[in-house]
Amino acid sequence: MNRLSTLVKSSSSDLLVLLGVVAILSILPVALNPFLLSVATGVLIFALAAIGWNVLSGFAGQFSFGHAAFFGLGAYTVAILLTKYSVSPWLGLVVGGLVGAAFGLVVGWVSFRFGLKGAYFALATFAVAEMLRITFNNLDYLGAGIGITIPLVYGDDWVRMQFSNTREIHYWLILGLLAVAVVATIAIKRSRIGSYMFAVREDEDAAAALGINPLKTKLVAMSISGFITAVAGGYFTLFFLFIDPDVVFGAVVSVAILLRPIVGGMGTIWGPVIGAAVLSLLGELTRSLVRDPPAFLSFIEGANGLDQVLFGLILVVMIIRAPDGILGWFRRRRKQAQT
């Protein structure tokens, strides 16, 4: 209790921002049509996955190029427990998170024990995610390449987490999970383990000289990260009701997860959320521009893939202008304004 009150006091500004963001986001469904609400729910799912990535790569500095591994494991855990054993997704999400954490420990121990760093660690995580994708593609028990479809139920079913007439409930539930994850990262940032993660990220030798066990610190980061991203993957199953190995383990998923904190601001509390919102908005904008361009651009109408090209170009410009993310850019601007 004492520690809780310390946390509240020392992080009051972060928590106030969280309250404001949640308040605004929770009334959003009133203003959005069903399609946009769906988009918004997807944004929140990937923001949650990105928060997980941010703990390992932003806080502890171990760049993962394969977070689809955790995302997919969470998604499959929820799907298999529900379809084969009728286990409620409420429990499935927790189990999925634990599977992600345990897998993170194993992969982390194998890689960090043998000193994998930087690009080599990133490649190892990429390889692990690909291994899982190929394995799941070939295991009949797991639906192989066909994947798993969650059977629809009639009416509202809180045990199976399916809701007939509205997607708003899903939106609010994932928003709640996101809020919990943000509070968790605020707590990590203020605590000893967070301080140790930053130290290991900046200089492992100096960290060890101050009594920090770098291996242990990285393993803790890996398991927390795996847990959060796996829960996001589990929710992906619940929301889209269909998964296959390429959809949840694909390299595209890993890239989607890591782009969000990089665009928003790596190692910050709000970077993953801001990045998720901005990238989704950008994606929708370029898509609608190509689908329905203004008169003077009518020649691009319906040009397949052009929206992706535009998206990529804008992304390149953003990374050049703000290599430390949107939050980093704002921080620099504010500092310049002060001096």
Partner 1 sequence: MTTILNVDDVSKSFGGLKAVREVGFDLHEGEILGFIGPNGAGKTTLFNIVAGAIPADSGFVTFDGQRTEAMRPHEIARLGLVRTFQVVKPFSGLTVHENVLVGAFLNRRDPTEANARSREMMRITGLTPYADRAAQGLTLAIRKRLELARALATDPKVLLLDEVLAGLTPTEGAEMIEVVRSIRDGGVSMLIIEHVMAAIMALSDRIAVIHHGEMLAIGKPAEIVKDPRVVEAYLGEEFQIAPD
Binding stretches for partner 1 (CB under 8 A): 3, 6-7, 10, 190-192, 195-196, 198-199, 201-203, 205-214, 267
Q: How far is the CB of 257 from partner 1 (least distance, A)?
A: 22
Q: What is the largest CA-CA distance in the chain?
A: 65
The Cα 185–Cα 224 span in angstroms is 10
The least distance separating partner 1 from the CB of residue 54, rounded to whole angstroms, comes to: 15
Helix (H) or strand (E) holding 243: strand 242-243
Least distance from partner 1 to the Cβ atom of residue 333, Å: 16
Contact of 271 with 265, CB cutoff 8 Å: yes
CB 55 within 8 A of CB 232: no
Is residue 198 a contact partner of residue 204, using CB atoms and an 8 Å limit?
A: no
Residues 6+ apart with CB under 8 A from 241: 149, 150, 152
For the bound state, the minimum distance from the C-beta of residue 192 to partner 1, rounded and expressed in Å, comes to 4
Q: Which is nearer to partner 1, 9 or 165 (CB)?
A: 9
- Nearer CB in complex with partner 1: 196/270: 196
- Minimum distance from residue 61 beta carbon to partner 1 (Å): 9
HSE-CB of 207 using CA atoms within 13 angstroms: 21
Which CB atom, from 15 or from 87, has the smaller least distance to partner 1? 15
Q: Select 203 or 292, whichever has its Cβ closest to partner 1.
A: 203
* DSSP single-letter state for residue 162: B
Nearest CB to partner 1, comparing residues 24 and 337: 337
Cβ closest to partner 1, residue 7 vs residue 241: 7
Question: What are the residue ranges of helices labelled H in 139-213?
Answer: 168-190, 192-202, 204-209
Minimum distance from residue 241 beta carbon to partner 1 (Å): 42
Contact assessment for residue 30 and residue 86, using Cβ atoms and an 8 Å cutoff: no
